[in-house]
Chains A and B, each alone.
Chain A
Amino acid sequence: MTHQNYWDWMQLALDKALPADRHAELHAHLAECVACAERWETLNRVHTLFLAEPMIAPRAGFTGRFKARRREQHSRPRMVWGFITLGMSAVGTSVFSMFMLALSFWPLAQIVGQPAAANAVFNNVTVASRLASTLAGALWVMVKALGQVILFSPAAWAVALASLAVTVGWLFLLRRLSVQGMVR
């Protein structure tokens, strides 16, 4: 038998799970082993300290507070649906705005997709430089067009930024609500 075996028995003894015949064997060992006797004493001190500690009751009115909270929780689903509707609208607007912006890249994509342009790149450096020039020109035209649409259209900025802000706020609220267990 090792000391560890006796330590396990001590724990079982404290939990009233040690068979009676082993109790005698444990106590015989404790009588002759100082280290185990010390450990037994410390474990007993922990055990006694915890056994003596009373239960703590909540403040008076716990049930009343529970009922109030339950009532409050009943009214929350409507609020949650309100947030979800608002959030879905914001997400929809964001997606639409991004889609419209992406569409403005279409002329650029068309130029890049031309087979003649690709061949020219591989066959002739001169043509390649012309293509680069064409691409740069197209890009410049697009940037100017975008600039006109976005820079000079505060409404576009306002819609895109507001919808993004609402989306971020909505995601934050959803996260908080899920932490509180209202949205699972």
Chain B
Amino acid sequence: MTEQDYVARALAGDEDAFTPLVETYQTAIYNLCYRMLGDGPEAEDAAQETFLRAYAQLRRYDRARSFKTWLFSIASHHCIDRLRKRRLTWLSIEDEDLAPHPNLREAAPGPEASALRREHSAAIQKYLARLAPEDRNMIVLRYWYDLSYEEIAEASGATVSAVKSRLHRARGAMAEMMHAPGPAPARQPALAVEGMNR
């Protein structure tokens, strides 16, 4: 059975038909939420919410589009909304001592590789945390899903030129953070306050 068959069966009222779609995309959606939010339990909640919204809005899904891109679109918007709400009430994760994701620790083959993996993962989450939510979304969609500019535009609802501009700006900002001396990346006032630099 194809993805579209499962969608058609779920639309016809077969609740179980949606389950294979959840199983297929759970890692992709969870990873997107984790990279966007930087917190395991919140990523789990956001990923669950993404699938619940997808299930509730299945009738709005245009079958001419990729189901995966549609899911990415729901997850991206949901995570950006959460980050905006968090802005006023929650301490930015850049100020916290970032613990690497437990799954990364388990997956590492030895103590040295484990330490390196943790270091890389913590650095990545720190860089991501300093980007505005929309810019962060571009980086995540580009690097973990290898999407083209056009696909990122479809998933994020931005234009292709906006995607290019945000992706390049975000990567440039991270290069500057990496280039800065010291153990922690230098603060970027224009980017540090989420969503305030546009």
Binding site for B on A (CB under 8 A): 7-8, 11, 14-15, 17, 38-39, 42-43, 45-47, 49-59, 62-63, 65-67, 69-70, 73, 179, 181
Contacts and interface: CB of A to CB of B under 8 A. Distances in A.
B127 to A, nearest CB: 8
B27 A69 contact: no
Contact of B124 (A11, A49, A69): A49
B19 A7 contact: no
Interface of B: 15, 19, 22-23, 26-28, 30-31, 34, 43-44, 47-49, 51-53, 55, 85, 101, 103-104, 107, 120-121, 123-124, 127, 139, 142-144, 149, 164, 167-168, 171-172, 174-176, 178-179
A59 B31 CA distance: 11
A39 B174 CA distance: 11
Chain B binding site: helix, strand, loop or mixed by DSSP?
A: helix
A9 to B, nearest CB: 11
B104 A56 contact: yes
Nearest to A16: B148
Contacts of A65: 44, 48
Contacts of B104: 54, 56
Contact of A46 (B15, B34, B55, B174): B174
A141 B146 CA distance: 79
Given A45-B178, A49-B123, A63 B26 contact: yes
B149 A51 contact: no
A25 to B, nearest CB: 19
A66 B44 contact: no
Contact of B175 (A8, A43, A59, A67): A43
Contacts of B30: 56-58, 62
The 7 tightest CB contacts between A and B, nearest first, are A58-B30, A50-B143, A11-B168, A55-B31, A42-B175, A57-B27, A62-B26
A59 B26 contact: no
Contacts of B127: 46
Nearest to A72: B52
Contact of B48 (A17, A50, A51, A69): A69
B153 to A, nearest CB: 13
Given A15-B149, A42-B179, A63-B23, A70 B171 contact: no
A51 B31 contact: no
A62 B47 CA distance: 9
Nearest to A45: B178
Contacts of B123: 49
A55 B52 contact: no
A43 B171 CA distance: 7
A38 B26 CA distance: 39
Contacts of A179: 85
